[in-house]
Amino acid sequence: MASVIFIDPSSAAAVVHRLPFTRFSNGLISLRRLVGPLHVCSPTPTLPRTLSLRSPRSSRLVTASMATEPSAKVIDGKAVAKQIREEIGAEVSKLKEAIGVVPGLAVILVGDRKDSATYVRNKKKACESVGINSFEVHLPDDSSEEEVLKFISDFNGDPSVHGILVQLPLPSHINEQNILNAVTIEKDVDGFHPLNIGRLAMRGREPLFVTCTPKGCIELLLRYGVDIKGKRAVVIGRSNIVGMPAALLLQREDATVTIVHSRTKNPEEITRQADIIISAVGQPNMVRGSWIKPGAVIIDVGINPVEDASSPRGYRLVGDVCYDEVCKIAAAVTPVPGGVGPMTIAMLLSNTLSSAKRAYNIK
């Protein structure tokens, strides 16, 4: 079938549509070709296994020994993201009461892509749900780079705006780097500015913002009480928006990190040594049970549509990780959907709130 579907992974309930002949990937969204069924891997209900994991809602430590019926704990990104949104909502109210400031997120959309418009609408809704103001600029497809830069410059100087997000992809005549570099790092809530990424990579330096999806991955590990310090971590994928910053974040948490990419000779062997795996590849069910060390914790960032005749839509979403195989071996794993995806937008809201607090020197 000559069609592809697009997904906004930032949405808790992944928004999926069919589009003719479109393919791209940027931080929050990704278009993938519909892929035929490679291996049947579907989420199944699970129980805790080998690691000690802290419940994200309480400080209770859930310790489980190796079970005879092995099954991994599900790392529930949807529930954690909901909890984070509630926390953000409460902080936004406090900020308003204390100093009369409401955090604001500006989103610039150029062109008429329906998928981009959907993502912008979702971000707007998410802002509303926590009391963050959203400002939207929608420019025509033939807008010049200068026009876009002018809006960025205005938002950079607007004290009611604490975060600026330029929805990608931009029309081809606009230089994406010029646009992203123009967002002041103090409002770079997507964390794409080279200065923020550079600071993330440097010891002793702090980025003002960390890219939302990798930040969401680490937040899941931390909220589930997964011990990262001194552990062996493997990140599969090295993109600027997911794999690379995820590896830097794990290193900052004192993991010993290896990055696997498309030219890696023995990915299975390397991945099998990992206590923690973050996979951001975009290949359905690539990471098989045989790649997993017993008791590993797995964060599956991949969102891949595969054909499924039994689904009313004719496809379903799977991760990079073959869920039904790894859940028998791993200690914990994120499902797809409902794992990392909902965390991405929660981190965007969190970055916007942090930015507003920083602007008023509030801890």
Residue with smaller CB distance to ligand NAP, 53 or 260: 260
Residue 243 within binding range of ligand NAP, rule CB under 6 A: yes
Residue 163 within binding range of ligand NAP, rule CB under 6 A: no
CB of 246 vs ligand NAP, minimal distance in Å: 9
Residue 238 within binding range of ligand NAP, rule CB under 6 A: yes
Choose, from 123, 187, 215, 231, the residue flagged as catalytic. 123
Residue 261 within binding range of ligand NAP, rule CB under 6 A: yes
Interaction pattern, residues 201-230, with ligand NAP; x per rule: CB under 6 A: ------------x-----------------
Of 196, 285, 344, 355, which one interacts with ligand NAP (CB under 6 A)? 344
141 tagged catalytic: no
Residue 258 within binding range of ligand NAP, rule CB under 6 A: no
Residue 84 within binding range of ligand NAP, rule CB under 6 A: no
Binding segment for ligand NAP among 185-193, 238-246, 249-257, 321-329 (CB under 6 A)? Answer: 238-246
Residue with smaller CB distance to ligand NAP, 203 or 263: 263
Residue with smaller CB distance to ligand NAP, 139 or 270: 270
Distance between CA atoms of residues 115 and 60, nearest Å = 41
Contact residues for ligand NAP (CB under 6 A)? 9-10, 25, 27, 30, 213, 236-239, 241-243, 260-264, 267, 280-283, 301-304, 340-341, 344
Please identify every residue annotated as catalytic. Answer: 123, 167, 190
